[in-house]
C-alpha cells in the first residue's frame, strides 16, 4: 500500500477510527520530506512544526493537540527533559517518540517511561499515519473512563461571591497539579469570570451553544482563553442573553466535550434556576453550595437543598461552603448552627476579606497578587487541595 492509499484510509475512517489532532515536532530536515510525502494529506489533522533539537514547543500547539510526535535524541539530556516536560504537562496525551536508529531495547525503555509508541527517523508517512490511528483508537477506547471532574459552584442566594470563589479556586487548582483546568461561565446574563481574571474573550459560551451540530473539540479549544494564572476560561457573552433559550442537550454536549479536553472543569451558574441549570448540576461530579452566616442566607440554602433533593441529587455530591466566614467569640451564628440548620457538615469556610479583594478584582487580579498571606487565599488553597484529590480519584 502506498502513502496516498494510507491517507485515503485515514480519511475514510474519520470518526470510526478516531482521526485525531496530531502535532509533529522535528528538525526541518525531517519535516520537509514528510510534508512532501503527505501532499494534500495535511487535511488529515497532521500539523507539522520544524523545531530544532531541544527548542521549546509552541504552547498553543500543545494546548490543542490530542497526540504529538516528538523528535527525541536519547543521548541529549535536554531533549529527554523536553519530552518529560511535555509528559508532565499533558499526562493523558499520547506521545510518539521519533528516533533515529531506534532498536527494541530503546523502544521498550521509552514505553516504560510513558511514551505511547515510537516511529523511526527519517519519517515514513505510512508508519506515521498508522501510529496516529493507533493513538486515536486508544483514546477512543478510554474516553468513557476519562471525563474530567465537573464541579458546580452554586449560589444559595444572590451576591454570595460564587464568581470570586470560582476564579480563585481555578487558579489554585491549576497550581496544585491539575494543569488544564477550565472554568465555564454559564451566567449568560451577568457573568464576570473573564473580567475577574483580566481577560477579554473573542468567543463566548453562547457562541458555542449556538454552533449546533458544528460544536466540536476544535471550536471549544479555540474559544478557551488561558489566564496568566493557569486556568482556561469559556466566557459569558458580552451581551445579556435570555436564559430560557438555552438548549439542554447542546449544553450537556458542551460540558462533555470540555470534560474530555481538560483535566478539571468548574462551572459558574446564574442565580436563577432553570431546567438547563439543574441539568448541569445533575451532570456534575460535585456541587459546592455557597452560603453565609446570615439567617436569610441559611434560609435560601435550605430551599436550594430541598430543590436539589426534589431532582434526586445525592447529598454526598453536595458540599456546603460558608463564604465570608467570621470566627468571633460572640458570633451569633457559628459553624455548629449552620450544620444543624442545613443538616449536614460544612465542607469548607472561606474567611471574610474586608479589604483588597474588590481592588484586586477591579484590576483583573486575584487577591494573592495584591495582599500576601490573606486568610481567604489560604482557605481557597485548602479547598482546591480537596478538589484536586477528588480529581485524582476520578
What mean pLDDT value characterizes the chain?
A: 82
- Of residues 266, 282, 263, the one with CA closest to residue 274: 282
Do 183 and 275 share a domain, yes or no?
yes
Asked if residue 193 and residue 130 are part of one domain, the reply reads no
Same domain for 115 and 153 = no
pLDDT tops 80 at residue 378: yes
Q: Where does a domain end: 101, 116, 144? A: 144
Q: How many CB atoms sit inside 10 A of residue 158's CB?
A: 10
Residues 303 and 200 in one domain: yes
For the beta sheet containing 95-100, the strands, ordered from the edge strand earlier in sequence to the opposite edge, are: 46-50, 22-26, 67-71, 95-100, 117-121
Domain boundary residue among 144, 174, 207? 144
- In this structure, are 72 and 174 located in the same domain? no
Cα angle for residues 159, 182, 133 (degrees, 5° grid): 160
**Within this chain, do residues 24 and 164 fall inside the same structural domain, yes or no?**
no
Instruction: Check whether residue 218 and residue 108 sit in a common domain.
Output: no
Residue 324 has pLDDT above 60, yes or no: yes
- Indicate whether 386 pLDDT > 80: yes
Residues 276 and 339 in one domain: yes
The yes-or-no verdict on residue 46 having pLDDT over 90 is no
Could you identify the residue written with the cell 496544585? 176
Same domain, 139 and 163: no
Q: Among the three residues 112, 127, 144, which one is the final residue of a domain in this structure?
A: 144
Least confident of 41-45, 79-83, 197-201, 365-369: 41-45
One domain for residues 136 and 182: no
Lowest mean per-residue pLDDT among 16-25, 61-70, 247-256, 376-385: 16-25
- Percent share of the chain, pLDDT over 90: 29
C-alpha cell at position 194: 473573564
Domain hosting residue 329, numbered range: 147-393
Mean pLDDT of 81-93: 81
Predicted confidence at residue 236, as pLDDT, reads 94
pTM over 0.75? The answer is no
What is the SS3 assignment for the chain?
A: CCHHHHHHHHHHCCCCCCCCCEEEEECHHHHHHHHHHHHHHHHHCEEEEECCCCCCCCHHHHHHCCEEEEECCCCCHHHHHHHHHHHHHCCCCCEEEEEECCCHHHHHHHHHCCCCEEEEECCCHHHHHHHHHHHHHHHHHHHHHCCCCEEEEEECCCCCCHHHHHHHHHHHHHHCCCCCEEEEECCCCCCCHHHHCCCCCCCEHHHHHCCHHHCCHHHHHHHCEECCCCCEEEECCCCCCCHHHCCHHHHHHHHHHHHHHCCEEEEECCCCCCHHHHHHHHHCCEEEEEECCCHHHHHHHHHHHHHHHHCCCCHHHEEEEEEEECCCCCCCCCHHHHHHHHCCCEEEEEECCCCCHHHHHHCCCCHHHCCCCCHHHHHHHHHHHHHHHHHHHC
Give dist(CA 114, CA 120) in Å, integer. Answer: 18
pLDDT at 235: 95
| pLDDT for residue 220 is more than 90 | yes
Q: Is the pLDDT of residue 181 over 80?
A: yes
- Domains held by the chain: number: 2
Task: Supply the Cα-derived Rg of the chain in whole angstroms.
Answer: 24
The CATH number assigned to the domain holding 200 equals 3.40.50.300
Q: What is the pLDDT of residue 1?
A: 32
Amino acid at each position: 500500500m502506498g502513502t496516498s492509499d494510507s491517507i485515503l484510509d485515514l480519511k475514510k475512517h474519520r470518526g470510526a477510527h478516531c482521526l485525531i489532532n496530531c502535532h509533529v515536532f522535528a528538525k526541518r530536515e525531517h519535516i520537509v520530506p514528510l510534508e512532501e510525502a503527505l501532499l494534500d494529506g495535511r487535511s488529515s489533522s497532521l500539523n507539522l512544526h520544524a523545531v530544532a533539537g531541544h527548542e521549546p514547543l509552541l504552547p498553543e500547539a500543545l494546548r490543542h493537540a490530542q497526540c504529538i510526535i516528538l523528535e527525541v535524541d536519547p543521548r541529549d539530556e535536554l531533549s529527554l527533559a523536553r519530552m518529560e516536560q511535555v509528559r508532565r504537562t499533558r499526562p493523558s496525551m499520547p506521545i510518539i517518540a521519533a528516533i533515529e536508529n531506534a532498536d527494541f531495547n530503546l523502544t521498550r525503555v521509552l514505553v516504560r517511561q510513558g511514551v505511547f509508541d515510537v516511529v523511526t527517523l527519517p519519517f515514513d508517512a505510512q508508519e506515521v499515519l498508522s501510529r496516529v490511528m493507533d493513538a486515536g483508537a486508544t483514546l477512543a477506547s478510554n474516553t468513557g473512563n476519562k471525563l474530567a471532574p465537573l464541579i458546580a459552584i452554586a449560589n444559595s442566594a444572590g451576591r454570595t461571591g460564587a464568581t470570586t470563589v470560582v476564579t480563585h479556586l481555578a487558579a489554585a487548582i491549576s497550581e496544585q497539579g491539575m494543569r488544564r483546568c477550565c472554568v465555564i461561565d454559564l451566567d449568560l446574563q451577568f457573568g464576570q469570570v473573564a473580567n475577574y481574571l483580566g481577560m477579554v474573550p473573542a468567543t463566548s459560551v453562547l457562541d458555542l451553544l449556538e454552533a449546533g451540530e458544528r460544536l466540536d473539540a476544535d471550536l471549544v479549544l479555540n474559544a478557551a482563553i488561558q489566564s496568566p494564572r493557569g486556568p482556561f476560561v469559556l466566557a459569558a457573552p458580552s451581551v445579556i442573553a435570555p436564559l430560557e433559550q438555552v438548549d439542554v442537550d447542546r449544553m450537556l454536549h458542551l460540558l462533555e466535550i470540555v470534560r474530555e479536553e481538560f483535566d478539571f472543569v468548574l462551572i459558574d451558574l446564574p442565580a436563577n434556576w432553570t431546567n438547563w441549570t439543574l441539568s448541569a448540576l445533575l451532570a456534575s461530579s460535585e456541587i459546592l453550595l455557597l452560603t453565609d452566616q446570615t439567617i436569610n442566607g441559611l434560609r435560601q440554602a435550605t430551599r436550594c437543598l430541598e430543590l436539589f433533593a426534589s431532582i434526586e441529587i445525592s447529598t454526598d455530591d453536595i458540599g456546603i461552603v460558608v463564604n465570608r466566614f467570621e470566627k468571633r467569640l460572640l458570633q451569633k451564628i457559628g459553624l455548629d448552627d449552620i450544620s444543624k440548620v442545613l443538616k449536614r457538615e460544612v465542607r469548607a469556610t472561606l474567611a471574610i476579606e474586608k479589604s483588597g479583594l474588590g481592588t484586586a478584582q477591579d484590576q483583573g487580579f486575584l487577591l494573592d497578587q495584591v495582599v500576601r498571606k490573606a486568610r481567604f487565599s489560604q482557605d481557597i488553597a485548602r479547598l482546591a487541595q480537596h478538589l484536586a484529590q477528588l480529581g485524582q480519584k476520578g
